[in-house]
Every structure is written in C-alpha cells, then in structure tokens.
Structure 1
Amino acid sequence: METKKQLRTAQLKRIHHFLRRDDADQLLESLYQRLFVDPDFLNSQMIGITLSMADELDTQPIINRALQSEKQVVIPRTLPKRQMEFVLYNGHSKLETTKFGTTEPVGGQVVSKNEIDVLIVPGLAFSKNHYRVGYGGGFYDRFLKGFNGTSIAVAMPPQLFEAPSWTPEDFDVLIDKIIY
C-alpha cells in the first residue's frame, strides 16, 4: 500500500500524461456522454461542480450541458477551517483565483447543502468500491458528511483503480456513483 501523499504525486503525473494523449478528447467525450444519460444527472435540478484547473477533468462541458438543460449550477467557495459552501453560478458570476490556484465565486447566492441534487466530486484517484483520494485538503469529505444528494465522480482512465492502492481512513466518505 502506498500513502495518499505518494499516490497524489504519482497521479498528478499520470493525469498530466493522459490528458496529452492523442485519444484523450475522444475518451473524455465518452465519459461526458455516460454522465449525461445517468438518471441522477438527468433528474437533478441543481448540480454542484468545481471550475476545473489545468490537468483536471474539464468541467466546462458538464456545466454547459447542465445550464442548457435548465438546471441550476452551484460552484464551491472555500471557507476557514477547511469548510466550503456552494454558490449559484450562471456563467456570468464574478470569480477570483485563490492562493491555491482554484477559481471561486465572489459574492453570490449561497445555497443550502440539502438543495443540491447531484455533486460532481473531484479527485485524483477513485476505486471501483467508491473510495476517493482528493487533493489533500479534506474539503469534500467534510462537505459530504450529511450530504443527502447523490455524489458522483467522473473518473478518467488513470484515475480508476480496481481497489484502493492506498489505505482508506475513517474520515473518508464514499462516493455514491463513479462514471468511468
């Protein structure tokens, strides 16, 4: 078993290389299409999702589809003590880049956790038995505690593991569904 820190380092390299493959766009499009026909996605009214950074799954196609389907989209804003809240996003929301390099909303209408139907959860590694390794801040594990909607991960090929190659921890929150 490798540590989560070791795994994160390796995964960042794997994902970087995958996204530069000639067939990456075609493989990503297939993932998007699987998500778009998922019943939880189709039946949702409000979707929580991050604004992706370089070397992450591009979330813009998901945001665009949600908005075209007249779903509400909410994006996260980090708070002190490794907490986060979600704010309504319409494509014209005022945004800023944080010291961590993430793009977050400035101002805007905060929505309650229980209003979000589907939360697209980012990460570096996902196992088929629904464990996840994120970027190490613990924001999503904290948010997912008590979350009543459906959590969905969209896993690119290098992110998917048959079983965890890392040691899951007591505070890890399982993802409800993994699209791969």
Structure 2
Amino acid sequence: MEKKEIRRKMIEMRDTQPKEIIKEKSRVILEKLFELNYYKKAKNIMFYVDTRNEVRTLDAIKKSIYLGKKVFVPKVINKCDMLAVRIKSLNELKKGHFGILEPVSGEMINPKELEVVVIPGVAFDKSGCRLGYGGGYYDRFLQNLKADAVKIALAFEFQILDELPKEEYDILMDIIITEKRIYFINKKDQYYLEEVY
C-alpha cells in the first residue's frame, strides 16, 4: 500500500475514535511516558500540541512545566520549517498554522540542546519508521537533533503496522509508546527490563 493510501486510512480510523476512548488511552500512554528515565532526567523536552484525535499532550505539557522542565513546542514559520519555542503556560498557545495551537512568541532553543522530543504521527512500524502528514516538518526538524537525543513517538496501538514504505531520509523513532506497550527500538530504558513492555 502506498503512503498516501495508508495515511488516508489511518486518519479516517483515528478520526472515528470516540473522544472518551481517546482521552482514556492518552492517559494510559502518558503514564508510561512519565515512568521512563529518559523523561524523568530530561531538562529540555519538546512536545507536539495534539490536534484531530492524536494522543493528547496538554496534560503532559502542564505536568512537565510544573516539574520545572523547560518545555518547548513547535511553531511553524514558513511552508517547510518549524522552530522549538519555550512555553511556561498553556495560556501562551494560540491557533496557528493548520489550526494547531502554537506559541505566539517565546525563547527558541537550538534543536541540539533538546534531550527528549515527543513526536506525533499518522502511523509507525515496528522498526521505528514514521509516517507523518506529508509536510516534512518533523523530518527536517529531527535531522538537527544531537545524536543522543531521544525521539519518543506517542501512538494508539492501531497505528502500529508491521512495515511502512521507507525512504532514504527517514529518521527512526527510538521509542514508541502505545496504550498497550512500549516499543524500545534504538534505546533501552533502565526502568523497563524487557524490550517490549
């Protein structure tokens, strides 16, 4: 199946999920995230701001700010790039590109200073390959991270496929967290002893 067709089917599936189910599964996924040592130790962390039935992140953003972490979220600046901009409160977010909440302004960070980046996607496979919305924003952004930055994808289990079509420039996720399990792909976490939880 081609990327375009997979994208269409997965978005359709996700959009038909009841809000209560999305909310509950998101809660379970975030609990798993909070238990990871990578999350606990990170001082500079970037989250996506959820939209259209993605795994919800606003509670995680709020909690991370409360814990004293420096929290960054994406701000789209033109047709192909995004920046990581710090927020200290959810009140700093306003609707921006594609109707997604983003900061109006704020302190920017060099992507090389980010320790953990929490990433959305339409579908993933078990090798860590990610299918996004087709704009390439994350593909370009992730190329600028330092080598040991941890790329954590949040997804619902139905978004995990055996295999996705791969491109040369694809950047693999290190960890994928779903409501059912954690896929440790390129990173292990001392908290979890098994490869798949």
What TM-score does the superposition give when structure 1 sets the normalisation length? 0.89
Give the partner amino acid of 1:153. A
Partner of 1:53: 51
Label 1:144 to 1:22 Cα distance change in 2 as closer, same or farther (>3 A). closer
Q: Which has the higher contact order (CA 8 A, sep 6+)?
A: 1
Partner of 2:35: 37
Count of matched residue pairs: 176
CA distance in 1 between counterparts of 2:35 and 2:97 reads: 36
CA distance in 2 between counterparts of 1:23 and 1:65 reads: 21
Label 1:109 to 1:21 Cα distance change in 2 as closer, same or farther (>3 A). closer
Give the partner amino acid of 1:4. K
Label 1:78 to 1:118 Cα distance change in 2 as closer, same or farther (>3 A). same
Deviation at 1:146, TM superposition (A): 3.2
SS at match of 1:82: coil
Deviation at 1:43, TM superposition (A): 0.8
Deviations 1:98-127 (A, max 9, x none): 342122211211111112111001111011
Q: Do structure 1's residue 155 and structure 2's residue 187 form an aligned pair?
A: no
Match of 1:74 among 50, 72, 75: 72
Partner of 1:134: 132
CA distance in 2 between counterparts of 1:12 and 1:6 reads: 10
Q: For structure 2, which runs of at least 5 residues remain unmatched after alignment?
A: 179-197
CA contact (8 A) 2:76 2:97 kept: no
Match of 1:28 among 26, 29, 32: 26
CA contact (8 A) 1:48 1:73 kept: yes
Residue identity over aligned pairs, in percent, reads 28
CA contact (8 A) 1:93 1:105 kept: no
Q: Do structure 1's residue 173 and structure 2's residue 171 form an aligned pair?
A: yes
Q: For structure 1, which runs of at least 5 residues remain unmatched after alignment?
A: none
